[in-house]
């Protein structure tokens, strides 16, 4: 019995794979692909926000380290 179940599963792989790939293709056609200008704009936003957060965390780290040194020193 177990061998027959495995054979049946193997027979289902082909049609299931074809259905899956067809659905993937349909979804890929629905995707909005950004233009080069949109990609540059989004990259710029990410870089600026990352820089702002890095500076903020650097200032906080500097301040906390001075406070800790003053307490311990």
30-65 residue pLDDT tens: 999 999 999 999 999 999 999 999 999 999 999 999
**Percent helix / strand / coil, the chain, rounded to 5:** 90, 0, 10
Phi, psi dihedrals of residue 5, rounded to the nearest 5°: -65, -40
For 23, the enclosing helix (H) or strand (E) is helix 2-30
Q: In this structure, what are the phi and psi dihedrals at residue 22, rounded to the nearest 5 degrees?
A: -65, -40
Q: Are 34 and 42 in contact (CB under 8 A)?
A: yes
First to last CA, the chain: 77
Quote the pLDDT of residue 25: 94
């Amino acid at each position: 019995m177990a061998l027959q179940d495995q054979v049946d599963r193997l027979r289902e792989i082909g049609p299931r794979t074809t259905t899956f790939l067809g659905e993937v293709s349909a979804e890929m056609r629905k995707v909005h692909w950004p233009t080069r200008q949109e990609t540059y704009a989004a990259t710029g936003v990410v870089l600026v926000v990352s820089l702002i957060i890095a500076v903020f965390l650097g200032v906080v780290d500097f301040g906390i380290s001075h406070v800790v040194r003053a307490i311990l020193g």
